[in-house]
């Protein structure tokens, strides 16, 4: 009898434990793995849709499967996350379980023709060049570049409008050339070939075509890459000096330090140039697209343009050369206390144009946490942040598809509001190393253009202002519309110009 009572008592004790373990098993089975998007094409999966219209693919899947789901891209499983909590979890990555190495390999292959199999170059870039970039472009070191950048930006605008007559040109040519040339002179020095701008622009606009390996269509970009790489190799050969630790004549320590590391590894001249070209692309790419879309938004919305320009004119005052002296003071001269509406305009632009973060590989089984549940990313699979969904959530941003220049401005204090908006600087261990310089250069080019220039978009056949076309193939940030043209002329002195 005693034994029977003992067995019954043991069974009663075991029941709650079994129930708990079973519930945990069900929870793991039902909740930890994101739903897999159904597709009728084996192996290829959703790759074709992703290549031709990633935004439409992400939006359709989000509506059908929820904010976290898994797609197949050419044999790879990629979990897409689109809530603030899951994106933050990816960006934090405290355990460094998520790695962007494979994405960088494909990007560097497309941008600089570095073979994907040449993992040594990628390891050098990640382990040796990125720390130099992070140090030289830190907030405390920006003064080294910003005064030169501002001076060159003003000079290029003044040279462009040496006569009083106006001109019509693509907006991306105007802001892209100013951004590219000013950045190149400030970082790489006077020996850098500024004529490479057009090849760089052609390559940047078509990187996705090279990655997708679309026959014939990608050839112009591949040819531009070949010419650009040859110019970079020649620039390093002509500008490198062996005195001391070695340096680029007229270049910054950022340029010299990166080349010094690459040369110390006894790489070929072509490999040194290719690694340097990858670094160059990272410096330029997002900044040009961002300033294009901000200027386009302001030009289309005339009232917003007028308000931002009035703020700039008020901040600069009546002194003719005040802008030049202000830019010479350093990056703090353009901080939000002086131009809060412009800062709001920048944030609103980045909110609208940010599409995805980088694709990262799970080096171990990795948990991505949401607000009410966690998702398991198995080792060897990938995760992709899709912040566009959050940035266009009408619960967070009323009328999210409208451009509101003062969306991030506190109406009572006139100060910049804190924001949940995700912009493409990444986060955690993967935070963009050049974000401080990119933010300064974006604001600087906007101030210079709006201070010196009168710009207006061209009208269509019906007399209505044409808005730039959004490329459906955009990833990272929206691609520019290279055909969108504007009329440009020097501002008259009576309009607040110089």
Q: Which span out of 299-308, 334-343, 487-496 was modeled with the highest average pLDDT?
A: 299-308
Q: Are 283 and 434 in contact (CB under 8 A)?
A: yes
Q: Is the pLDDT of residue 77 over 90?
A: yes
Helices 171-188 and 253-264, interaxial angle, to 10°?
A: 70
Measured between alpha carbons, how far is residue 294 from residues 4, 136, 298, 442 in Å?
Answer: 79, 27, 6, 9
Report the alpha-carbon distance of residue 497 to residue 245 in Å, rounded: 46
Q: Is the pLDDT of residue 175 over 80?
A: yes
| Residue 491 banded pLDDT, cuts 50, 70, 90 | confident
Report the alpha-carbon distance of residue 409 to residue 393 in Å, rounded: 19
Quote the pLDDT of residue 198: 92
Residue ranges and CATH numbers for the domains of the chain are 113-354+388-421+423-495 (1.10.630.10)
Report if pTM > 0.95. no
Q: Is 256 exposed, middle or buried (0-12, 13-18, 19+ CB in 10 A)?
A: buried
Binding site, annotated residues for heme: 432
φ/ψ of 456, rounded to 5, equals -150, 140
DSSP bridge pairs for 360: 383
Quote the pLDDT of residue 101: 77
Quote the pLDDT of residue 147: 87
Q: Which of 353, 334, 341 is nearest to 423 (CA)?
A: 353
Q: What share of the chain is helix, strand, coil (3-state, %, to 5)?
A: 55, 10, 35
Quote the pLDDT of residue 310: 94
396 DSSP assignment: T
Arithmetic mean of pLDDT, 183-190: 95
Q: Which of 177, 130, 127 is nearest to 155 (CA)?
A: 177
Quote the pLDDT of residue 262: 92
Q: Is 483 exposed, middle or buried (0-12, 13-18, 19+ CB in 10 A)?
A: exposed
Binding site, annotated residues: 432
Q: Which of 30-34, 227-231, 305-309, 423-427 has the lowest mean pLDDT?
A: 423-427
Tens digit of pLDDT for each residue in 250-281?
999 999 999 999 999 988 999 999 999 998 99
Q: Is the pLDDT of residue 96 over 80?
A: no
- CB 302: neighbour CB atoms within 10 A? 12
Q: Are 247 and 241 in contact (CB under 8 A)?
A: yes
| Residue 476 banded pLDDT, cuts 50, 70, 90 | confident
Burial state string for 437-466 with b = 16 or more CB within 10 A and e = fewer than 16: bbbbbbbbbbbbbbbbbbbebeeeeeeeeb
Quote the pLDDT of residue 425: 66
CA angle 148, 497, 314 (to 5 degrees): 85
Quote the pLDDT of residue 1: 45
Arithmetic mean of pLDDT, 306-323: 86
Q: Which of 64, 82, 62, 95 is nearest to 367 (CA)?
A: 95
> Which pairs count as long-range contacts for 236-243, CB under 8 Å and 24+ apart, including other chains?
236/269, 236/272, 236/273, 236/276, 237/269, 238/191, 239/189, 239/191, 239/192
Residues 6+ apart with CB under 8 A from 104: 122, 125, 126
| Residue 421 banded pLDDT, cuts 50, 70, 90 | low
Tens digit of pLDDT for each residue in 322-367?
888 888 877 777 775 688 999 999 999 999 999 998 889 999 999 9
Quote the pLDDT of residue 301: 94
Residues 6+ apart with CB under 8 A from 189: 239, 248, 249, 250, 251, 252, 255
Measured between alpha carbons, how far is residue 234 from residues 12, 192, 227, 279 in Å?
Answer: 81, 9, 11, 16
Report the alpha-carbon distance of residue 81 to residue 374 in Å, rounded: 12
| Residue 315 banded pLDDT, cuts 50, 70, 90 | confident
- CB 375: neighbour CB atoms within 10 A? 22
Tens digit of pLDDT for each residue in 20-49?
444 444 444 444 899 999 988 888 899 888
Quote the pLDDT of residue 462: 81
Q: Which of 50-64, 97-111, 216-230, 436-450 has the lowest mean pLDDT?
A: 97-111
Q: Look over the chain and give the mean of its residue pLDDT values, rounded to a whole number.
A: 84
Quote the pLDDT of residue 95: 66
Q: What percent of the chain has pLDDT over 90?
A: 46
| Residue 2 banded pLDDT, cuts 50, 70, 90 | very low
Q: Which of 141-155, 231-245, 342-356 has the lowest mean pLDDT?
A: 141-155
Burial state string for 6-40 with b = 16 or more CB within 10 A and e = fewer than 16: eeeeeeeeeeeeeeeeeeeeeeeeeeeebeebeee
Quote the pLDDT of residue 392: 93
Report the alpha-carbon distance of residue 394 to residue 466 in Å, rounded: 26
């Amino acid at each position: 009898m005693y034994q029977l009572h003992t067995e019954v008592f043991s069974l009663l004790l075991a029941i709650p434990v079994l129930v708990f373990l079973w519930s945990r098993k069900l929870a793991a089975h039902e909740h930890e793995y994101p739903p897999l998007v159904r597709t009728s094409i084996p192996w290829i999966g959703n790759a074709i849709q992703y290549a031709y219209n990633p935004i439409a693919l992400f939006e359709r899947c989000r509506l059908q499967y929820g904010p976290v789901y898994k797609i197949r891209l050419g044999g790879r499983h990629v979990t897409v996350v689109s809530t603030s909590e899951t994106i933050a979890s990816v960006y934090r990555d405290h355990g460094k379980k998520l790695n962007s190495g494979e994405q960088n390999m494909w990007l560097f292959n497309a941008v600089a023709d570095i073979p994907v199999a040449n993992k040594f170059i990628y390891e050098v870039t990640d382990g040796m060049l990125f720390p130099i970039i992070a140090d030289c472009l830190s907030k405390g070191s920006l003064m080294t570049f910003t005064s030169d950048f501002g001076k060159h930006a003003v000079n290029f605008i003044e040279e462009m409008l040496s006569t009083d007559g106006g001109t019509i040109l693509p907006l991306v040519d105007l802001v892209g050339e100013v951004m590219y040339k000013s950045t190149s002179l400030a970082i790489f020095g006077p020996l850098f070939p500024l004529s490479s701008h057009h090849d760089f622009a052609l390559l940047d606009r078509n990187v996705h075509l090279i990655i997708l390996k679309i026959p014939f269509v990608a050839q112009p970009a591949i040819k531009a890459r070949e010419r650009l790489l040859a110019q970079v190799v020649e620039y390093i050969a002509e500008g490198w000096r062996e005195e001391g630790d070695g340096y680029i004549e007229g270049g910054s320590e950022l340029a010299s330090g990166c080349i010094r590391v690459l040369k110390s590894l006894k790489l070929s001249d072509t490999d040194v140039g290719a690694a340097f070209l990858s670094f160059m692309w990272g410096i330029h790419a997002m900044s040009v697209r961002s300033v294009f879309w901000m200027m386009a938004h302001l030009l289309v919305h005339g009232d917003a343009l007028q308000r931002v320009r009035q703020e700039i004119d008020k901040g600069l005052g009546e002194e003719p050369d005040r802008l030049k002296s202000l830019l010479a003071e350093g990056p703090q001269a353009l901080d939000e206390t002086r131009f809060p509406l412009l800062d709001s305009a920048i944030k609103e632009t980045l909110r609208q144009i940010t599409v995805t973060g980088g694709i990262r590989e799970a080096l171990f089984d990795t948990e991505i946490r949401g607000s009410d549940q966690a998702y398991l990313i198995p080792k060897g699979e990938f995760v992709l942040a899709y912040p566009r969904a959050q940035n266009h959530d009408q619960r967070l941003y009323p009328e999210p598809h409208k451009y509101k220049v003062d969306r991030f401005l506190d109406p009572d204090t006139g100060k910049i509001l804190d924001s949940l908006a995700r912009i493409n600087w990444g986060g955690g261990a993967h935070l963009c190393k050049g974000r401080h310089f990119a933010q300064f250069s974006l604001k600087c080019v906007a101030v210079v253009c709006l201070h010196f220039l009168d710009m207006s978009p061209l009208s269509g056949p019906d007399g209505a202002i044409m808005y730039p076309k959004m490329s459906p193939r955009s990833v990272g940030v929206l691609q520019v519309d290279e055909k969108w043209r504007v009329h440009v002329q020097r501002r008259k002195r009576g309009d607040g110009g110089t």
